[in-house]
Chain A
Amino acid sequence: MSRVLRVRLFWAAAAVFAVAFAAACTGLPRFGTLSHPYGARAIAAAFHQRTANTVSSVNFDQRAFDTLGEESILFAAVLGGLVLLRRARDERLGGVRRGRVLPATRLFGSVLLPITLLTGVYIVAHGQLSPGGGFQGGVILATGLHLAYVAADYGVLKAIRPLAVFDVADAVGAGAFVGLGLVGLAVGAAYLQNVLPLGTFGQLSSGGLVPVINAAVGLEVGSGVVVLLAGFLDQAVEINSPDEQDNRTGR
């Protein structure tokens, strides 16, 4: 297909899309109206399940099966990333140069590392009460850990990040979500149905299955992001591709 034809085809498709999209947008409800049919029903259901954070109630109780699908996508994506980033047969490990870190950066990292990890745990644990949950808290935990790389060097990060443990934790978190669904089946209810005691509204232990699944998701997301970043970091910092080795021996 020639270039002119391709450009013409693009403009024709873009024009059709623009007209159809504009027509579809006129049928949308107005921005910021007071009536939210789905929201009203979701909030009523969340109150009934004694889960203060309606978003968590939707994600991990009312539509937990959808979330299981999303978590599986994340798990598969991390797995695929690791397969692509693994050290190939012709790649060699090179030494990591120790970086120079400004004292202010070192202090910043040392102070913020524990605070960030604590924030991550807080957000995972309070998912059923306040904004956040396993996914958000897991990402904070995983990125917070990498402050060690910013404040010190790659060796320190590797020391506080035993990859074998995180590999297993990723799989255990994903498996725990699937397994927790079976609790419903075991007591004669539906898969992933919230059958645990619901507790008192607004308490840390409220929401039945919601905080438990949140913890499993936090474990999976946190470990998954850590091992994925480790794959990227190894390639960027430590692993030498064949062309880099040729050069090294040539020197």
Chain B
Amino acid sequence: MSGTDAISEYLIAACLLLVTVTATVAALTRDPMRQALVLAMLGLGLTLLFTVLQAPDVALSQLGVGTAVTPLLIMLTVRKVRRSAVQRRDGERQR
């Protein structure tokens, strides 16, 4: 095995480890707002993994959808739900 092969295998192993760790953290995080951020980190880890596995097309899709759009949609949803919940609670307190 040549030197570059060994380096790329170490890179793949490191990226796999990063993805495993961030995915586990994402599953264990209970607060949806934080979960969205961890999900973005997971998306970044997957992007790195796809890049070292020589799949740049998939890496680009993952970067756009997994790191930007999905966490953004989750955060907007959480904001909407929390806004309703907070105002409902305030309203009940006033009545």
A236 adjacent to B83 (CB under 8 Å)? yes
Q: Nearest chain B CB to A222's CB is how many angstroms away? A: 11
Q: Please, which residues of chain A bring their CB within 8 A of the CB of B68?
A: 139, 143
Chain B CB within 8 A of A233 CB: yes
> Does B57 have its Cβ within 8 Å of any Cβ on chain A?
yes
Stretch from A6-14, A156-164, A174-182, A242-250 at the B interface: A242-250
B90 contacts A143, CB within 8 Å?
Answer: no
B95 touches A236 (CB 8 A): no
Total inter-chain residue pairs, C-beta < 8 Å: 68
Number of residues in A with C-beta < 8 Å to the partner? 29
On whether the beta carbons of A246 and B91 are closer than 8 Å, the reply is yes
The B interface, classified by DSSP as helix, strand, loop or mixed, is helix
Contact size range, B: 20 to 34
The residue on A at minimum CB distance from B62 is A136
A residues whose Cβ falls under 8 Å from a Cβ of B: 53, 55-56, 123, 131-133, 135-136, 139-140, 142-143, 146, 225, 228-229, 232-233, 235-236, 241, 243-244, 246-248, 250-251
Nearest 3 pairs of A and B residues by beta carbon: A139-B64, A247-B91, A131-B56
Supplied contacts A55-B57, A247-B94, 12 more A-B pairs, CB within 8 Å: A53-B57, A131-B57, A139-B65, A233-B76, A235-B76, A236-B76, A243-B87, A243-B91, A244-B87, A244-B88, A246-B91, A250-B95
